Chain A
Amino acid sequence: MRSRNLFAPDGPVRIFFRNPLAVVGLTIIVIFALMVVIHPLLMNTLWAGEELIYDPVFGNDAPIVELVVVEEVTDPTREIELIEARIRDITSNLGDVKEFRIQPAPPSGTHWFGTDVFGRDVFSMVLYGAWPSFVVGLSAAVVAAIVAVIMSVASATFGGRTDRTLSRVSDVLLLIPAPLAMIILAGGSTGDFLTPLNFGMTYGLLAGASTAAIVLRSHALSTAQRPFIDAARVSGARGWYLARKHLIPHMIPLAAVTMVSAVVGAVVAHGFASWLAYSDELSNWGAIMFTAIGFASLQGTLAWNVLIAGAAAISLFCAGFYLVSLGLKDVAFRGSEERRQRPGWVRRRENRNVGSLV
């Protein structure tokens, strides 16, 4: 099953890259990873000395725009209401064309994604938000995979009471949906406990012990019934040795798939917690959207450039990981294309109802 050479013609890497969707996903993730690197670079080179404009937390820049003072606004990008204009400049009269500083500002050459309600550069904020998202997502994924693999392998190796207890734990934890639990924890907790790292790890613990463990358990159980496990038992392998040497290698591809869904869940939950202003982070994608929504009622209009930038960043990030999971699934249920060519009974024997669970 496992070939030693990762890059062999039918090895996992080749199978992964044969799926075009997975390649697209990987490209998206690489772009986001580049964003993590690019932001400090830009701050130190191109934007050096302009921190007051481009700083993602404290920056401020209000572009100057010429607006016509009118009685009733039909086009907010070109016109301004008389009262509003008088507040800013007492000398304004109807029909004047005056220069006003505006924030939030629409996209322009200096601010690719425009500025938000505090006049911060949204492009810089989006770049800056990539790092916390990676921390949340990856820590959740690693913890979830470790917990789920240990639980499922223990179920399959020891069986009996261990298995019953562990699957009961998963059943109970499934009733406390990890995203909801994390949002409530974030809302209730005080102080700076919920850093992105802690948030991700707690999420990983909850999701790993429930959903991921359930999915991996049935895979582990069906792997444990295969002949080579019996052979290992006959030759004296027991307990953790058996699990480590013979079961866990077979769990890795599927564990990778569940890791990816943990990334998606954790990033969305973290985004929503920040959206509700439950996060202590100074700036991340959820917080970007919070500023768009939170001040919509004060501004009278919703800053679409801010909302779309944050939402698109989170959605694309999740989509990238989701697409990668499709490729990983091909690796996990190796060569689904070749498998499709074989008659049904052969595949049933290979498959044992597992691939369908994920």
Chain B
Amino acid sequence: MLLHEKTAIITGTNRGIGLATLEAFAANGAKVYAHARRETPDFLALINDISRMYGIEIWPVCFDLTDYDAMKQKMKEIAASKRSIDILVNNAGAVADSSSFLMTSVEKMKAVFEVNFFAQMALSQYVARMMMRNKRAGMSIVNVASAAGIDGDPAQVEYSASKAALIGATKKLAIELNGYNIRVNAVAPGVTDTDMVSAMDEGLMRRTLEKTVMNRKAQTGEIAGAILFLASGLSSFMTGQVLRVDGGM
């Protein structure tokens, strides 16, 4: 049980890497605030199933990440609960329709940055402040970046750039929050078997995978494993790092 007696907030838990991370955390004893954009019956049933399977508490926390008023309201509710938050996983992200740099409007770039960077920063500010008040040992923020944020490929400019910004923030937050016992790291997944990647051009997918040693997509659980590692005490001497999980690119 790597996360026994820990409480985590994970964004984007209704599918993909976020859902796999929710399961991995639950399996390792963490209580979780499971974020999704909308509180649907399917989502509630999903987290209820995971909660029962592992015998741990999971609370839904639903808001659009770009709605800062809603974010603040939910964070106030979490703060009022007096539960100490130990871990934040900034997982939720967005990707726009495929287009080249010269065919991408600044508005489209801003929309992706809003979800992939600014919303993550706003949420991290709220949660870091709650963590600071806890004064507990072993607190951790894990940002889900992307190999595209390091390599610039395979993704559109606004996606790669927003993930690169998240990597830059990871390094700076690690420095600023170290004094409060909060480690900050990022994972940089390669091509992963998610809905987001299923929209990827087939040729680009094949060429990208052929560049990797393992020549396959990651399963979401393989990325969740790396997130679990960075969230847990196993990585207690790591902060400001970007862990590539990319099948050997």
Pair from one complex? no
- Which residues from chain B sit less than 8 Å from chain A, CB to CB? none
